[in-house]
Amino acid sequence: MKDSDLKSRIEKLKRTKDAIILAHNYQLPEIYDVADFVGDSFELAMKARETQAKIIIFCGVHFMAESAKILNPEKKVLIPDLNAGCFLADMVTAESLQAKKKTFPAAAVVAYVNSSAAVKAETDVCCTSANAIEICRKLPERQIIFVPDENLGEWVAENLPEKEIILWAGNCYVHSKILVEKIQEAQKSHPQAIILAHPESPKKVRDLAEKVLGTGGMLKFVKNSTADEFLIATESGMLEKLKRATQNKKFWSLGGECLNMKKITLPKVLNSLEKDEYEIKVDEKTAQKARRSLERMVELTER
Ligand code: 13P
Ligand code: SF4
């Protein structure tokens, strides 16, 4: 089926089934076209929490759809490909975190939303790239176990010297592969360009950036900036978002593709709508504990 036919069938089914499509900034351009909202992890969680639609089709990776289900348990949450996971989220398990908590009994536990429901259930509060510093700053505890991203955790620690951040050995392969040499080369070709880096990037990349921002923060920065050339150190799909939101600005990506994000395609979205596949389920006991952590994140985030 042609993309245009797939899109019109998706639009029609969305209306008849009262479904909303939420998509992450790293999704494919054709997914942007059928989405009702495209945003970062925090914005998507807020949309999922507030929507009145009966069905949420989540175009992103599994932990995002799972968070949507936890925040809005009455809704049917579907992910078009159940295998769209996040390798970073898989780097921490509930059992390994329980063991760490025993070593640091006085520490607060903060989970990046890139984690499973079972891990979130073991934590005091969640955070995203958009609010990680704010959340950690507002916690009364000085000592914080931060899972699973060591780069994001290290960036939080750099910004909050008053806290002791206990890092976890986890990272995102997309951001870890961003090379300093590639940035320096790109700078030679585009000397006026401003470098923006996602906090999941390694320190040596963050140190070269004008600003360290999550994907939502990058969008705001670019829109408000008088500059018109940018080098973007995050997953390459972000360029689509920046290009669609601006005029006469130029962007070059320093990052590669997240294979899991790209598993979501138009035929799979249509299948999802037609067959109500694949439904996200979280057992209620785990969901209740994980919800506390996600809701505390919402309470602590200034909007
Ligand atoms: P954002 O919340 O900044 O969109 O990041 C999500 C993510 O998975 C980055 O790799
Ligand atoms: Fe996970 Fe990295 Fe993909 Fe983000 S870009 S979803 S952190 S693997």
Read off the CATH number of the domain in which 42 is found: 3.40.50.10800
Is there a single domain that holds both residue 63 and residue 38? Answer: yes
* Protein residue with least CA distance to atom 8, ligand 1: 114
The backbone region for 284, taken as left when phi is positive above 0, alpha when psi lies in -120 to 50, beta otherwise, is alpha
- Ligand 1 site, residue 40, Cβ cutoff 6 A: yes
Supply the pLDDT for residue 105. Answer: 98
Distance of CA 181 to the CA centre of its chain: 26
Is there a single domain that holds both residue 277 and residue 290? Answer: no
Domain that holds residue 266: 3-85+261-281
Supply the pLDDT for residue 65. Answer: 98
Is there a single domain that holds both residue 144 and residue 266? Answer: no
Is there a single domain that holds both residue 14 and residue 65? Answer: yes
| CA 121/CA 285 separation, integer angstroms | 9
| CA 251/CA 31 separation, integer angstroms | 20
* Protein residue with least CA distance to atom 9, ligand 1: 200
Is there a single domain that holds both residue 72 and residue 212? Answer: no
For a mutational test of ligand 2's pocket, the pick from 261, 263, 264, i.e. the residue with the most ligand atoms closer than 8 A to its C-beta, is: 261
Supply the pLDDT for residue 157. Answer: 99
| CA 113/CA 89 separation, integer angstroms | 8
Is there a single domain that holds both residue 112 and residue 70? Answer: no
* Protein residue with least CA distance to atom 2, ligand 1: 41
CA–centroid distance, residue 200 to ligand 1 (Å): 8
| CA 198/CA 144 separation, integer angstroms | 21
DSSP state of 72: S
Q: Looking at the CA of residue 26, tell me the nearest atom of ligand 2.
A: 5
Is there a single domain that holds both residue 70 and residue 10? Answer: yes
0.75 cut: is pTM over it? yes
C-alpha closest to that of 193 among 236, 256, 253:
253
Is there a single domain that holds both residue 240 and residue 106? Answer: no
Is there a single domain that holds both residue 101 and residue 167? Answer: yes
Q: Average pLDDT per run of 10 along the chain, which is 303 residues long? A: 98 98 99 98 98 98 98 98 98 98 98 98 98 98 98 99 98 98 98 98 98 98 98 98 98 98 98 98 98 98 94
Is there a single domain that holds both residue 249 and residue 267? Answer: no
- Ligand 1 site, residue 148, Cβ cutoff 6 A: no
Is there a single domain that holds both residue 10 and residue 77? Answer: yes
Is there a single domain that holds both residue 50 and residue 34? Answer: yes
DSSP H or E run through 125 = strand 125-127
Sheet strands side by side (includes 108-112): 125-127, 108-112, 143-147, 164-166
- Ligand 2 site, residue 25, Cβ cutoff 6 A: no
- Ligand 1 site, residue 67, Cβ cutoff 6 A: no
Number of structural domains the chain divides into: 3
